[in-house]
Structure 1
């Protein structure tokens, strides 16, 4: 009999079988509690196989990770897994990140029931936020999870939700070989399902409130040729944003394809993902300070007027008005949306030279094209100052305290007319991202040692530009199109980044029940950030009391190259099975978060407002680092009662030292323009907790 030890480890036998029965019947009785089946393939051969469990039955595997929700793993780190079936049972089609919110130590929020809205999305794990975690799909890097798309894409754009077989969270630290340069606070690994062995097709259809529908279809070829298999999947989702009217739709199209070849010594996997989506960026619900005291039903206002331009224009004073009513003049957009198109593909080749040596290679490429679009009222000093700087820089009578204002003279008619005469203008942040790379890892087993060493290299070219467009009664635009023919480009950033990571580790089975791991990684991320189009100094002006001209003191950064480099990031850990059902794990690891490849208004060295401040940070600034200490107890106890098969769990204590935290420091009256922003290391943070 051959059996995977991870499938049989939890069996607490020997089981006693008594009575008069055949050898087949006796063997069936002996293995039935292990979820195995027995059949006779020949007069002298009995075959024992793992049983197909009923739908919804949890597959309890101690330290294996096959269960729908499991907090185990033969790891020195805390690893918790949510299976694809559990994820879809909770919410069909949901963002895989949202599924992790059922786990301890994880906080995920989103304004969308599916968790897909990226601007209004956040995840925290042990106090670390979205861009301080690491994300991979089948081992390929997804970047830092940033809304601005500077080095990757979100998991729901990388794979259709129904094609995700499991999501694994390393809540303290990720594996040394994880392809991430941002994983201060752990990693989240998404695994796509393999093609099925039998040919078939499935279609799932969802209808719901808010005019919701979601279609998922998948076709599996089954095994063909020389151990080949593949599938093709398609999804279409459309729904009304719950806090906007019916014309504000969210959703899009997505296609996945996966090919698998299993040779005697070589395994080849090819994957392709394409997605195109557009979704409104809503501000949630805002308090309407004018009406709610007298009419509680008007306590909150919707975040956008689209498609009712007349109502949007009526909500604000006319061009000549000198009043500031309503009290919060920019609390409602005409519309705002995120538009994203992605192509992601990888080719993975794993070759087993012999029983001791294997070699895994993964070549990948990703292209992203997108825009964040906001049709906003021009009736704020910050926005008027930006528009006036480019459209009517000499209009001194509309300038007070170094900024354009409408509170004294009304809105400058030149600015009003050039932006379309509606009191609204459309602002975009337009993104493109080309990145490709390779991961290559050797696994060598010798004696009681499992040695792993590998590299990850990536080249990433990304660009972001801020542009402004007119919005007129005849050219109202929509949330689903990127405008053309801008009035002007306020700024444009380009970043060229090379990432190189090397790691090596040894997992040593010191005793049958004691395993020790030790290793390190070298990480270097070089980024050259340039500014082909720099913002005019006046468009980033601060208030200058009494000034009748635009403040021109604020400079703009020309950019340059900065390297985040750590030659030695160590890790050491231990797993001890001190009983047949319990194990203790300990892990200590250091990680680094490379600098964000983004510019104006972000927490990045290139987000400062002068070249002098950039050079100062380059000389004195440091990348964020963390030391994480984990220790815990895992247990798996077979129950085999009428109501319970088993009970499993994990208790973990963690301690984190977070060093050189980066923060953006803004001057007073900076507004939304990020005026005079300085980036600095703000000190250290210590965290203790128990899951």
Structure 2
């Protein structure tokens, strides 16, 4: 099979019809671990929310579950305690967007549909043109719940990439009573996480209310130097209309200024050590980077830091700096209107603006003043807007709905070169501050996209305990790219991609069923066809038809096919006071899987985009939660995923034996367990997780080792303080919390493939996980 051009995705999802007469949320396909579960004493109440879910393979992650994690923790990390889900990051809270990697049943985050209050969050790539990283879209403390579908289909989700599941963020509502919340977290590496929220309470007879919150996270990196900083403002306004309608508005401003950890290879890990990192923020950091660059170019005065000569590529092991700066403005208005007692109209209008910088010091290109290195920045400006609108109608035993989604985005992305000073004659470029004019534009492209989807679905209640779901989705997306600058001596090609690609599918079906038989038992099935629109990425930025040269684009544009899959799932759940059990099996046939294959330097990689053909995936999850006495819960889950490539790949005359190899980055086996106990105002939990080995290269000749990791948490919730002293009546609740991340101080490889992955052998494209970290929190509610 010849190599073509385009970027990596993964797998599927599920949905199953749920009976309107059964007002209970499915527990989960693996029952979430008790460490993140609600602390209600009855199993039937765990995860229950007051709205109807239509999909049997759907579960709810509540705010109470997320509250067990360290404040500020990425909600996807909490979600990853479910079977079949995996979250990796080089920092304990998951704030570093460069290193965030989320998988669900073999599907990467750019193949999972994500929304916030109905606002699409896009494909969750680091350079995402059609969305926003979920960690920057809303403060974790303001997330009311996550509705998660990890099976075959969810046609109503506003997404062009959801091959394998969906995660719907639902923001918490303003409280009906005026009050405030203040929380302060202290942690290892001088971590300081601050959260403050004011709730207006009901302001008038119509019920108008709002909240405004501010969150700030500031920490030194656990290795190397410099800081990781983020701050965020959320505002939500809620206007009830009558007894059964509402209009709400949500606003998010996020500011991320993060110095990233250096990407590593197996050679760097073995010969440089676990704690090797970039030089910024360390003693004589710029001098080390400067002299290392002189050494790379064979210039007088060049030298390597002590011990670096042991590595085969010491010059890429540590740059002067690498980082991410991003500022986002996101806003939307959401209307949920009951037109009659059987007809509802739901609509969302939204807009999003983003400015971002991806930063690396490049020792391969000199500055005009003679300094042997320059500061390289990929700068992106994106604006997008859109709307969704749907009608829901209930008649007889049918719950019908139909809707549309439209979005337009414009992105300008370019890479620029900034001059670094001669050693001792100036201050290095501050990539997080204001910038002087660049001395060169290395490349630049612009993108414009129009996306449209429509869906129709019906949930038919055959019997009060039996429901069947039928639906389909239509998708149309056109993306146009235009080259606006190209420095051929840097890119190595005469022209970057200019042209358009269209993804069109008129009929993507979805069928599911749900049967509650006997008192505590449930069976469900799910099958759907899905498609992912062609990914959008700038030059060498990912597995996209637009990230290649004009010559390659012209060769593939008429033969390339979008990624598609057929997904099948079947599950069983048992829900009872003392026990929750589940078993879920799934099968996926994947076609035209697009992957990024990379070699060369990470500051100017040699990337190709390959259609690696089909992937066949079979998997099973099993979960069991035992609650023998009130307050005590023991959770265990096992996940097995056999996802292998169907074909070998021939590239540049060489055949790579991918057939029957497990897909890269995702383990075949995972085990998760948690023990939790609650006694009066005190609760504690101990969690463990085993992550099986993962293929690093496509041929499987290089693997990331398996590892175990544990976390511990304890919390005391005092409740209304007036019961201790009447003078403290103003303090409605006081919470003290203590958490330990990586309890046994395990050294492990976390994120992998952030720079693409090699066909075989080694490459500088993984990040190691944080060592043991301690956190303490004081939270007060007034």
Q: TM-score, normalised by structure 1?
A: 0.78
309, 314, 336: which one pairs with 2:322? 336
Alpha-carbon distance in 1 for matches of 2:182, 2:326? 25
Alpha-carbon distance in 2 for matches of 1:303, 1:670? 15
What does 1:82-121 align with in structure 2 at a 5 Å threshold?
Answer: 82-121=61-100
Is the CA contact 2:21–2:465 (under 8 Å) kept in the aligned structure 1?
A: no
CA shift in 2, pair 1:311/1:200, >3 Å: same
CA shift in 2, pair 1:118/1:580, >3 Å: same
How many residues are matched?
A: 575
Alpha-carbon distance in 1 for matches of 2:110, 2:38? 37
Q: Verify: 1:235 aligned to 2:215, yes or no.
A: yes
Is the CA contact 1:304–1:336 (under 8 Å) kept in the aligned structure 2?
A: no
CA shift in 2, pair 1:686/1:364, >3 Å: same
Deviation at 1:88, TM superposition (A): 2.2
Q: Verify: 1:257 aligned to 2:240, yes or no.
A: no
What does 1:668-687 align with in structure 2 at a 5 Å threshold?
Answer: 673-675=604-606, 678-687=608-617
Name the counterpart of 2:490.
539
Q: Verify: 1:635 aligned to 2:574, yes or no.
A: yes
Deviation at 1:9, TM superposition (A): 10
What does 1:70-469 align with in structure 2 at a 5 Å threshold?
Answer: 74-225=53-204, 226-245=206-225, 248-264=226-242, 265-283=244-262, 300-306=275-281, 308-317=285-294, 320-321=298-299, 326=309, 327=312, 328-378=314-364, 384=365, 415=366, 418=368, 420-469=369-418
CA shift in 2, pair 1:614/1:427, >3 Å: same
Deviation at 1:315, TM superposition (A): 4.3
Which of 166-175 and 191-200 deviates more? Answer: 166-175
CA shift in 2, pair 1:617/1:299, >3 Å: closer
Q: Verify: 1:658 aligned to 2:608, yes or no.
A: no
Is the CA contact 1:343–1:367 (under 8 Å) kept in the aligned structure 2?
A: yes
CA shift in 2, pair 1:313/1:556, >3 Å: same
SS at the partner of 2:417? strand
Is the CA contact 1:63–1:73 (under 8 Å) kept in the aligned structure 2?
A: no
Is the CA contact 2:153–2:510 (under 8 Å) kept in the aligned structure 1?
A: no
Name the counterpart of 1:556.
495
Unaligned runs of 5+ in 1: 11-53, 379-383, 385-414, 542-553, 639-645
Is the CA contact 2:443–2:491 (under 8 Å) kept in the aligned structure 1?
A: no
Is the CA contact 2:496–2:548 (under 8 Å) kept in the aligned structure 1?
A: yes
Is the CA contact 1:357–1:442 (under 8 Å) kept in the aligned structure 2?
A: yes
SS at the partner of 1:99? helix
- Which structure: greater helix fraction? 1
Deviation at 1:117, TM superposition (A): 0.7
The structure with the largest alpha-carbon Rg is: 1
SS at the partner of 1:619? coil
Name the counterpart of 2:548.
608
Alpha-carbon distance in 1 for matches of 2:267, 2:345? 61
Provide Cα deviations, 1:534-565, integer angstroms capped at 9, x if missing partner.
Answer: 342x3233xxxxxxxxxxxx432341111011
Deviation at 1:144, TM superposition (A): 0.2
Provide Cα deviations, 1:561-611, integer angstroms capped at 9, x if missing partner.
Answer: 1101111100001001111211110010111111122121121111122x2
Alpha-carbon distance in 1 for matches of 2:261, 2:274? 17
Q: TM-score, normalised by structure 2?
A: 0.70
Alpha-carbon distance in 2 for matches of 1:518, 1:5? 18
Is the CA contact 1:59–1:66 (under 8 Å) kept in the aligned structure 2?
A: no
CA shift in 2, pair 1:669/1:76, >3 Å: closer
Name the counterpart of 2:681.
none
The answer to which structure, 1 or 2, has the higher relative contact order (CA under 8 A, 6+ apart) is 2
Deviation at 1:375, TM superposition (A): 1.9
Name the counterpart of 2:430.
478
SS at the partner of 1:604? coil
Alpha-carbon distance in 1 for matches of 2:212, 2:55? 37
